[in-house]
Amino acid sequence: MKIAIAVLVVLLAFGGFVAMQPDTYHVERSASIGALPPVVFAQLDDFKAWGEWSPWDKIDPSMKREYGGPERAVGATYGWQGNADVGQGKMTIVELERPTRIAYRLEFIEPFASIATSTMTVERKETGSKVTWAMDGGRDFMSKLFGLFMDMDTMIGKDFDKGLAQLKAVAEEDAALIRAATDAIRAKQQLEAEQNAAKPDASVKD
């Protein structure tokens, strides 16, 4: 009987300890990208472009995707259903300040149901842009218990780091293509200007 009471006391104490853990979580990562904000933002407000850089999209090649709502605007949705590693959920654009900030509502269905808010901000820098990816959500008792054994910042943070690295590669490649096209247009215009300047003036008579 004493052992049972002792076990109960320990369980109650542990349950109280779990309940006292923070009710919310915040995860944030940043990266410098050598591309201007509009170039970077073009990858963020288009859900169909996420497959090129999202840290989760390549985990399950056969993952089912569903797009809805207006494209590249508040109300646009992206639903996914995949294996145990990616689960099932839905993402909706809820705020949009192009090309500096976008916010998404995340609804996780499987393997655990939860709701979170994710934001991505793009800040102009001398060398390009600074992109900050953050996620905020609430924690119920089970989430708090899980958090004692698996740090949320570490678990999600590593995915954010991977995603930002892939976003950097994609955006910088796009920026390089834009610069090349711009340089080609300028070179053509300069050549045409030089050719026109070299032509004899038809208005001048002998």
Instruction: Quick: pLDDT tens for 121-131.
Output: 999 998 899 99
Tens digits of per-residue pLDDT, 188-203?
887 777 778 777 765 5
The answer to the question of residue 72 being in a domain is yes
CATH number of the domain that residue 54 is part of:
3.30.530.20
Number of domains the chain contains: 1
Residue 50 lies in a domain: yes
pLDDT at residue 6 greater than cutoff 80: no
- Measure CA 101 to chain center: 11
Does 67 fall in a domain? yes
Please state the pTM of the whole predicted model. Answer: 0.80
Q: Is residue 90 part of a domain?
A: yes
29-35 average pLDDT score: 96
pLDDT of 171 reads 95
For residue 109, the enclosing domain spans 21-183
Within-domain flag for 1? no
DSSP code at position 12: H
Q: Phi, psi at residue 119, to the nearest 5°?
A: -125, 145
In a domain, 4, yes or no: no
Q: Is residue 59 part of a domain?
A: yes
28: nearest Cα among 121, 105, 150, 129: 121
Q: Residue 86 corresponds to which tokens in the numbers above?
A: 């990616």
Contact in structure between 118 and 135 (CB atoms under 8 Å): yes
70-82 pLDDT tens trace: 999 999 999 999 8
pLDDT digits (tens, 9 = 90+) for 141-171: 456 556 555 677 787 889 999 999 999 999 9
